[in-house]
Amino acid sequence: MRDFVANRSNPQKLGVLGALVVLLTAPFGGLESVADEKTEPLRLGQQVDIGPFYVTLDKVTQLSDLEPAVSPDVEGAKLVVLKMEVTNHTDRAESSTLVRDAVGGEHTGFVPWATDRGEIVPQVFDVDDATSFNEFINPGQTYTLALVLQQEPETDLDRVTFAIYGYFFREIDPGTLAPNTWVADDPPLVAGHVPIEVKP
Amino acid sequence: MIGARVFGALAVVATVAAAQLVTARVPVVDLGGGGPFVRSGELGEPVHLSYADVEVTDVRPAQYLGPPDSTALARLAGGVWVVVSVRLSATTKPVSIPNAWLVDPEGREYLTSTRSSCATNLRVSTGVPTYAVFCFDVPPDRLEGMHFRIARGAFETDQTNNDDLADVDLGVSAKDAETWPATTKAYRSVDYALEPLELTEITLTETGS
């Protein structure tokens, strides 16, 4: 045995050592497949499963005001509205904040709402009744929501990209023992530029 | 000598692997053990819990709910508003009721709506009935066989375990499930009061676009 090992080349020895290490980690998940972490291109009308919800981005619009629902609270700012259809496909109610927090982007020119202390957080409205929406969405329920953000008026709309992130389910948080939570995942499920319709 | 070392190393790995298997398969963390003690009832029939009496007095569908401020915009149901009127009284001492929810025949759970301006959580006094209205936005195809549930523990965090829970069959028939989604009724939202609550039907007016 000793001679057999001694006669092997160094690359062969390293290869066997690596295989042994992987085998030894098998009880702890070493042989489990690696999650597919590829980000797909974002398209309008494409249904994305973010974990608790199916989300479909229907349209992105830039406009000056959206009365009576909401108006810019920073002088000169435009509003950008992401209109999306949202369906809870789980068997329990899930918070709409998971949808709100799943959207990101680059070169967006977004400016925070005056009430948000520097953080970029969309205001969410129900498109069908124009009321503010911060709600647990019941199982099987679908809403058309508008995520509304403020934007610098001189933002180059051709450079703006959006991203939609997913969540994974954690039955029990080992730190706090809090049960049944959705945890934000990275990288985004979809990302890219979509046309932004400009209205006065 | 080498054989003993290899055997020792393999023994350590085997022991750790066995421990990993045990912790992965056996529920080491027990968040509550047994389920709730379900006390069943029907519409218009009191359910007696160890800490409160609960009676669902009315259930009806609506398309819109108007907030208490009559100038505010009405809330349109994503599906159908299921409006449940309940009479509660604590039996031995005041009790907090953090939530009520609906359960369909498949066990899916539906929470009250915060945007409805109906009741969400309650403080119920001893011997003085509290009248509450809970509003749920339910998908049109999930109405039949819906049950109303209420307890003093928060059900999202399994705090209803090992305690009484009222489960009331709302009597939503197959025919109701067909007709309710077509309702055009609109009611003024109410949350709770110490006097019996009457739901007021309202007429909506259009605002400027």
Chain segment A151-182, per-residue pLDDT in tens:
999 999 999 999 999 999 998 888 777 778 89
Question: Which pLDDT score, from 0 to 100, does residue A28 have?
Answer: 58
Specify the higher pLDDT residue, A21 or A155: A155
Is the ipTM beyond the 0.90 threshold?
Answer: no
- Give percent of chain B with pLDDT exceeding 70: 91
CA B45 – CA B43 distance, rounded (Å):
6
Respond yes or no on whether the N-terminal peptide bond of residue A187 is cis (omega within 30° of 0): yes
CA B58 – CA B47 distance, rounded (Å):
15
Residue type, A8: R
CB neighbours of residue B63 within 10 Å: 19
How much is the pTM?
A: 0.82
Question: Are B139 and B177 within 8 A, CB to CB?
Answer: no
**Distance from B27 to chain A by nearest Cα, in Å?**
11
- Give the length of chain A: 200
Respond yes or no on whether the N-terminal peptide bond of residue A68 is cis (omega within 30° of 0): yes
- Domain spans, chain B: 1-30, 32-193
Which of B80, B104, B115 has the most A C-beta neighbours within 10 Å, making it the best mutation to test the interface with A? Answer: B115
Closest CB from B78, B158, B207 relative to A141: B78
Question: Are B55 and B102 within 8 A, CB to CB?
Answer: no
Q: Which residues of A touch B76 (CB under 8 A)?
A: 126, 128-129
CATH class of B32-193: mainly beta
Cβ of residue A134 closer than 8 Å to a chain B Cβ: yes
N- to C-terminal Cα separation, chain B = 87
Task: Read off φ and ψ for residue A179, nearest 5 degrees.
Answer: -90, 155
Chain A residue whose CA is closest to B11: A24
For the segment B134-142, the average pLDDT, to the nearest whole number, is: 98
The structure tokens 């929406």 sit at A133
Cβ of residue A128 closer than 8 Å to a chain B Cβ: yes
Q: How far is CA B132 from CA A143, A162, A194, B41, B87, in A?
A: 27, 44, 47, 18, 6
**Distance from A177 to chain B by nearest Cα, in Å?**
8
Mean pLDDT of chain A: 89
Question: Which pLDDT score, from 0 to 100, does residue A169 have?
Answer: 94
* Choices 1.10.3470, 2.60.120, 2.40.50, 2.60.40: CATH for A40-198: 2.60.40
Question: Which pLDDT score, from 0 to 100, does residue A150 have?
Answer: 96
- Domain spans, chain A: 1-32, 40-198
For residue A122, the 8-state DSSP code is -
